[in-house]
A and B are shown apart, each in its own frame.
Chain A
Amino acid sequence: MSDAAENPSVANSVAIETDEQLMTAFSRGSTDAFSQLFSRYKQPIFGFFRRRVADPAQAEELAQETFLAVLRGSARYAPRALFRTYLYAIGLKILRAHRRKTAFRATFMGTATAFREPAAPDPDGSELILRQAVGKLERLDREILLLREFEQLSYAEIATLLKLPTNTVRSRLFRARVALRELLDAPAPNLTAQDLNEFEERV
């Protein structure tokens, strides 16, 4: 994957304690265990929201809310699945609630679409083209693609998160990759500011 900091599973492979062990320890009262978990997943969770929400402040707020939800629900935690599946499930719920709230507000009050500045200098506009292409994908395909490519979740984990059969996840992921490949291979359109504003919120 692109960023080592966003691959906690890789980091976990060399960790002394697994995520599940740390979470169990935290549920028994060890706050140090949660600090370790937070340091492992701080960047992945922020990246998860940052790629789905235009406003960086909102992404930060949602990431914070996700960790607070883990804190509140620690007493009920049972290691039935991987901790990261549990964490991203909470993140997805919070993201959906945020989208409903945003859509409700926008329905009645309108909204000003915020333009998302690239995180790094993007002289050739490749990142912008990529985000536009991803934004054109069908919604569920896009979510599966993002979970696979950026959150590095397995097919089974994605299926659990989105409550889909694993085969559906695989076929939709295939469809999303083929569509994205075609979109990226197509000649880049001349983007206007209006075009950018329109697709920014889709990603």
Chain B
Amino acid sequence: MNLTAHPVTPEEVMAFLDGELSAAEVQAVSAHLDDCSECAKILSQFRSLSPSLSEWAVETAPAKLETSIANSISKVDSTGEIGKSNFLIRASFWTWKQWAVASGGAMAALLLVVAISIPNLQRSRARPGAAYYYDRQPDTDGVGTAGKLVQRGAGYVTVTPPGPLRNSTSLYGLAGRDKDTHGDRIADEQSENSDQDHSYSPAPMIARTVSLSIVVKDFTASRSLLDTVLARHHGYFGQLNISTPENAGRSLQASLRIPAHELASALVDLKKFGRVENESQSGEEVTQQHADLVARLKTSRETEQRFRAILQQRTGKVSEVLQVEEGIARVRRDIERMEAEQKDLEHRVNFATVELQLTEEYKAQLNPPAASISTRLHNAFVSGYHDASETVLGIVLFCAENGPTLLIWLAILAVPFILVWRRYRKIVSTL
């Protein structure tokens, strides 16, 4: 239709028929229809459509509908309540958009929970290792009995081993190994041989380890009592960690070395500290290992003696003398290494290890000393920043760890999902 020739559009003609125009528009369209046969024809076409549609009749509403509604009205009259609607067809049933939003929210919440729990899980796994950390700085003062006390941040005290191995060497007749003269060394080694032969016995050699967890009421007293017990039984600290967290009970983790023959009595004393929560004992038999070591050591010493006899009794070229001395040096290195192993083994047998954990029974304070507002704000900010970064890291780690698997599953499930979705949309469009 040409709008210049027809100031009224066909849509307006239709709206005129439907009574959807204003009075002024009705007047204008009506005037145009009187003059324009083409528009009048359009009007008659639209007008004839409604009678055509009237052929589509429907049945009278069934009487059951009236009955059921009447029953519902009577329920309203009597109880003021109506039965629940059919969940699947009630008006408030979610649309697909609502389902999508709800599903997305649930997925986001799940991701958030996973992201938060992963760093916490990692931290909880990392804590036991951190608790057993101690300083392994070499003992440079040459005393080796007092150990070193090192401050490791708030609430942690670390004590280095007091050098028992250095002292224990004297127990096995090696105190004079620092002597310089060649003759003295030979004499010492010979005396060692005899000592070692005597020290070796067919009795089983067992390295014992005990783990003990005790809850104590008075932590300070228990701490000093622990020193007393160690002194009484001639033991020492292999390691000591003391933790004093805020608003929680203090705890002590120590690795005690106690002479094997005094282990039983030391344990009795330790158990008097408080309530034993956990106790476990284990023993590692090293008899065979020790016997092998002694035999190899004996052989090496005999070899060394033969080398020395050759050097003293026979003469030859300088090169031959040098070769013999090299042999002596090599055997000497082996002997020293094996001796160290032997000492360590024997020390493990002679000194049992007690892994002790003391935990204080915590009593909450009525008015705990509160930190200043600025400190609390600072701590909260740092904690929040840390948690946020951990969360982000957790999400990244989760995606990195599970992303490829999820992508594979997504690719596998995408095809059937798309097929089902297309089928669903097709069916919906036909309804």
Contact = CB atoms under 8 A, between A and B. Distances in A.
A62 B68 CA distance: 12
Interface stretch (A12-20, A66-74, A77-85, A188-196): A66-74
A85 to B, nearest CB: 15
B62 A93 contact: no
Contacts of A25: none
A119 B93 CA distance: 31
B96 A42 contact: no
B53 A2 contact: yes
Interface range for A:
35 or more
B73 interface: yes
A97 B76 contact: no
Contacts of B64: 60
B69 interface: yes
B424 A50 contact: no
A54 B20 CA distance: 32
B60 A177 contact: no
Contacts of B76: 31, 71
A71 B18 contact: no
Interface string A90-126: 1001101111111110111001000000111000001
Interface string B39-54: 0000001100110111
Contacts of A184: 52
Contacts of B86: 65
A141 B233 CA distance: 98
28 contacts: A35-B70, A38-B66, A38-B73, A42-B61, A42-B69, A47-B58, A51-B58, A56-B59, A60-B61, A63-B61, A94-B89, A94-B91, A96-B95, A97-B88, A100-B428, A102-B431, A104-B424, A118-B57, A130-B52, A134-B56, A150-B53, A155-B20, A174-B10, A174-B14, A177-B46, A177-B49, A184-B52, A201-B431
A97 B50 contact: no
Contact of A100 (B45, B82, B96, B430): B96
B430 A202 contact: yes
B123 interface: no
A103 B69 CA distance: 28
Nearest to A6: B58
A184 B20 CA distance: 25
B6 interface: no
A171 interface: yes
A34 B73 contact: yes
Nearest to A113: B430
A103 B68 contact: no
Contact of A127 (B50, B56, B60, B69): B56
Given A71-B72, A97-B90, A201-B430, A173 B14 contact: yes
B225 interface: no
Interface residues of B, number: 50
Contacts of B171: none
A120 B427 contact: no
B18 A2 contact: no
Contacts of A46: 58, 61-62, 65
Contacts of B15: 155, 170
Contacts of A51: 56, 58
A155 B69 contact: no
Given A2-B57, A111-B427, 14 more contacts: A38-B66, A43-B60, A51-B58, A64-B68, A65-B86, A71-B73, A71-B82, A90-B91, A102-B427, A119-B58, A131-B56, A148-B18, A173-B14, A201-B430
Contacts of A118: 57
B71 to A, nearest CB: 10
B431 A103 contact: yes
A171 B11 contact: yes
B82 A103 contact: no
9 closest pairs, A vs B, by CB? A2-B54, A46-B61, A103-B427, A93-B91, A50-B58, A99-B431, A103-B428, A97-B93, A107-B424
Nearest to B427: A103
B20 A170 contact: yes
Interface in A1-37: 1-3, 31, 34-35
B61 A107 contact: no
B62 to A, nearest CB: 5
A180 to B, nearest CB: 7
Contacts of B45: 181
Given A38-B69, A131-B56, A155-B20, A97 B427 contact: no
